[in-house]
Amino acid sequence: MAKLKDIADATGFSVATVSRVLNHDHSFNVPEETRLKVLRTAKRLNYVAINRRPRYDFSEKEESAKEKIRVGLAYSYSPSDEIIDPYYLSIKSAIGESCEESDIDLKVFYLHERKYDDIKNGNLDGLIALGKYSDYEIKALHGLHENFVLVDCYTEHPDIDVVIVDLKAATKDIIQNLNQSGITSIGFIGGIESTIDGKVIEDIRFKTFTKHDGADLDAVYLGRMTADSGYEIMNNIIKSGNMKSAYIISTDMIALGCLKALNEHGVKIPEHVSIVSFNNNVFSEFTVPALTTVDLNTHYLGLAATETVLERIKNKRKLGKKIFIPTQLIKRKTTF
């Protein structure tokens, strides 16, 4: 029987995108061609939606309380942020899908609206926090619930579970692949992220790049996490006449703006410059040329977060786990 992943593999879209299309989520803004491709592929593969049994047996709780497991999802991004960069939307959707499969009642709290009291009064069995948080915010959220899992943000706190993408290994892998292609002149283009309370988050991709042998700190450019920022940065690089042979770019959205600037100036890719970015968004294979990017496995990130909070609820575990999700470099036409 076909699964969501089978359809995702056949169409080239993420599991989260496939799930939302098949569930007829009308709030999901997706091109009609994408929707039709998913529906036709599902029909061709004879996909049938099924209700899966919960991954864990909570019969004792169900007998006493007669209620579903209730998990909160604290979310540091607003719906408008999701439009700018769908990365966190894909993780949130994966958490929602895995909770639905495990028959969990998931409640989303948008923290840009300062809903800490809502979380405290939510009668929750566990809490997942997705996004970028300062140490102060992490401690505050952990204080709301002991069954706490932090997703895509790291803390050394020994009692807190962390599920995070291994961006350090991914960045090293990109540098190694470029070096093996004979490219050692490499620049970095990234964006600055802040927490809700205004603390700047250190980007592990940027940190890893600056520490590699031969790193040129004069070839590091930091702006916003938007296509407009990438367009502006790359235009300035082209005008300076000091272009590197390759650029590592922290997100596909920034890379989209960089590609636009390069194409407008007639810079050939990858003959004159190679581009590698992160996220493997749904549009990355449709850029001109198709974008080489790192797939961050957001589906497994969301799945691991759900499984971790459920395991913690069941076993009443106190010591925290640190789970690193591996990545995959998807080679396309912006590199050799």
Do 279 and 305 fall into the same domain?
no
Do 90 and 210 fall into the same domain?
no
Spans of the chain, pLDDT less than 50: 51-66
Q: Look at strands 328-330 and 292-295 and give their pairing.
A: antiparallel
Q: How far is CA 203 from CA 55, 64, 83, 88, 238, in A?
A: 34, 46, 21, 16, 25
Convert the pLDDT of each residue in 99-112 to its tens digit.
998 899 999 998 87
| Residue 13 maps to a domain | yes
pLDDT of residue 81: 76
Do 264 and 177 fall into the same domain?
yes
pLDDT of residue 62: 43
Percent share of the chain, pLDDT over 70: 92
Do 36 and 66 fall into the same domain?
no
| Residue 244 maps to a domain | yes
Do 72 and 153 fall into the same domain?
yes
Do 122 and 104 fall into the same domain?
yes
Count of domains forming the chain: 3
| Residue 334 maps to a domain | no
Do 241 and 147 fall into the same domain?
no
Range of the domain at 66: 59-165+297-327
pLDDT of residue 28: 67
The letter for the amino acid at 93 is S
Q: Is 315 exposed, middle or buried (0-12, 13-18, 19+ CB in 10 A)?
A: exposed
Q: What is this structure's pTM? A: 0.78
Cis link prior to 158 (omega < 30° from 0)? Answer: no
Q: What is the CATH number of the domain that holds 3?
A: 1.10.260.40
Do 246 and 287 fall into the same domain?
yes
| Residue 332 maps to a domain | no
Do 117 and 257 fall into the same domain?
no
Convert the pLDDT of each residue in 186-197 to its tens digit.
999 999 999 989
Do 195 and 207 fall into the same domain?
yes
Do 182 and 286 fall into the same domain?
yes
Convert the pLDDT of each residue in 236-288 to its tens digit.
999 999 999 999 999 999 999 999 999 999 999 999 999 999 999 989 999 99
| Residue 17 maps to a domain | yes
Contacts of 207 (CB under 8 A, 6+ apart): none
| Residue 336 maps to a domain | no
pLDDT of residue 84: 73
Do 16 and 115 fall into the same domain?
no
With beta carbons less than 8 A apart as the criterion, state whether 189 and 219 touch: no
Q: What is the CATH number of the domain that holds 262?
A: 3.40.50.2300
Which of the listed residues 27, 50, 73 is the one where a domain comes to its end?
50
pLDDT of residue 1: 63
